[in-house]
Amino acid sequence: MIKKINIKHGIIGELVILIILASFLIYQNVKENSIDAFLPTAEKDYIKWVDFDVSHTAMDKAYNYDVESQSEEVKLNWIELLAFLGARYGGDFSKYKEKHMADLVERLRSKKETMESITKDMKYYSYYLEAYTTILGGFVGEYEIQVPSETNPEEKVWVKKYGLKAFLPIAKNFPYSDYDDFGASRSYGYKRVHLGHDMMGQVGTPIVAVESGYVEAMGWNQYGGWRIGIRSFDKKRYYYYAHLRKNFPYNKSLEEGSIVKAGDVIGYLGRTGYSATENTNNIDTSHLHFGLQLIFDESQKEGVNEIWIDCYDLIRFLYRNRSETTKDMETKEWHRVYDIKDPVVDVYMEENSRNISKDFPMKPQIDVPVDMKIVKNEQESVDQGHSPWMLDPAYVAQVFVSQIISPEGIKGEYPIPYEDVEILYNSDENTIAKINGSTTPVRRVYMKRLIRQDKTGIWTVVGYDPVEQK
């Protein structure tokens, strides 16, 4: 009897083991197939889904390795380090150990191996590399930024840097609180999950652009209230800032198409939304709804194929870089204290100059009034052989800025050298000139051919962007 019972128990035990083993194999197969389902295919060569689970501690460590390596022989790429671990962990960074990254760095620093040789047999490395590059690709690089002068803290000087050029969306010195609420339930309008990150704060807190880009959408939305959407220049990221302040939601200089730099003030925290009636406060707790959408293909921008990621750890990582702001008591606007020169802004403007025929890609911060009677007289004068310099946009910009510096009249050399004027783009109708150098009060000059849109037409200044005031 005892023998029969023992045999029975043995059979049951074996069955349990087999069930557990089968379940594990099925899970592994489903897991692999689930990732395969989101990989690029021959028919649709783009990623279909990303679950961003990288911890802020892993991002911090990888970022530090990257920055420190810039002065070393072997340059490390923080996104490649994270992609390696993503492929190793199957995207699950609860498995993260600092030693895993340190071991990888040591292998690369030995120069016996490269990232290519290390990852050649990792099936999903390319997937994680593309996914993480799409998320983090605009965060780190070379840039210039203003800092207080060492000799006179009241003055600002430009310094070149390599490092984090993306900013926390809440301005420096303004308090906020948050927690990981991505995927939480929402019921207004219809039952759905929360596809963003809420940052609770005081109404009127300045909201800044996380990354440089252009304003793709702004205005009222029933769910988000006053909101603004900024697209990265590579079109891979769409930053969504919602529930902005009633009556005064945005920086007044912005409109759709405006270019913003990382750290610029774009709006103000509020509690608008949850109403079909425009400019309504229906949100109980004032907060910024911050969202980040990934776009591998334009078909993913709107509809059921949208990809939004959990930004909680990303926000914790960005906390190290906050844009300091100051208030203009006359206009009630907040502006950044330390300006930035992000190379991607000029690259974007130069690359898009070929596609612009009628409108500027961004609105001048200050408009210059134009008297068409004077412009017509100047055109006639040039047609008669006088003042040919008005046909040269760089010369026109040089004269314009020099007259701002010396309003009493220019004597001798122009205070702005001709070689400091850089044409960012030049179409038949529009031109934007960038003024380089440390003495200029103007950063960009906007000009149009108002009479004739060909090489015989003169250029007229219609606006400009001032250098950020000290």
Spatial contact of 240 and 290, defined as CB atoms under 8 Å apart: yes
Mean pLDDT for 56-85 is: 98
Tokens 């609860």 found at: 94
The domain at 156-347 falls in which architecture?
Answer: Distorted Sandwich (2.70)
Question: Do 161 and 144 touch, CB atoms closer than 8 A?
Answer: yes
Mean pLDDT of 37-52: 76
Q: In Å, how far are 264, 320, 333 from 330, measured between CA atoms?
A: 19, 31, 8
Percent of the chain with pLDDT over 90: 70
7-44 pLDDT, tens digit per residue, is 444 555 555 455 545 444 444 444 445 566 566 654 56
The CA R_g of the chain, rounded to the nearest whole Å, is: 28
The span from the CA of 120 to the CA of 187, in Å, is 46
pLDDT of 256 > 60? The answer is: yes
Mean pLDDT of 222-238: 96
| Biggest alpha carbon–alpha carbon distance for the chain | 122
Phi-psi region of 342 (alpha: psi -120 to 50; beta: other; left: phi over 0): beta
Per the model's pLDDT, the better-predicted residue between 267 and 187 turns out to be 267
Structure confidence by residue, pLDDT tens digits, 381-402: 999 999 999 999 999 999 999 9
- What value does the mean pLDDT take over residues 99-103? 98
Q: Judge whether residue 287 has pLDDT over 50.
A: yes
For residues 375 and 461, give the distance between their C-alpha atoms in angstroms, rounded to a whole number.
Answer: 10
| Cut 0.75: pTM above it | no
Model confidence at 353, pLDDT cuts 50, 70, 90, reads low
Q: Domain coordinates of the chain in residue numbers?
A: 56-136, 156-347, 356-466
> What pLDDT digit, counting tens, does each position of 132-177 carry?
999 999 999 999 999 999 999 889 999 999 999 999 999 999 999 9
Q: Is the pLDDT of residue 368 over 70?
A: yes
Q: CB within 8 A of 104, min separation 6: which ones?
A: 81, 84, 85, 118
Confidence band, pLDDT 50/70/90 cuts, at residue 301: very high
- pLDDT tops 80 at residue 190: no
Q: Are 141 and 161 in contact (CB under 8 A)?
A: no
Q: Give the mean pLDDT of 268-297.
A: 97
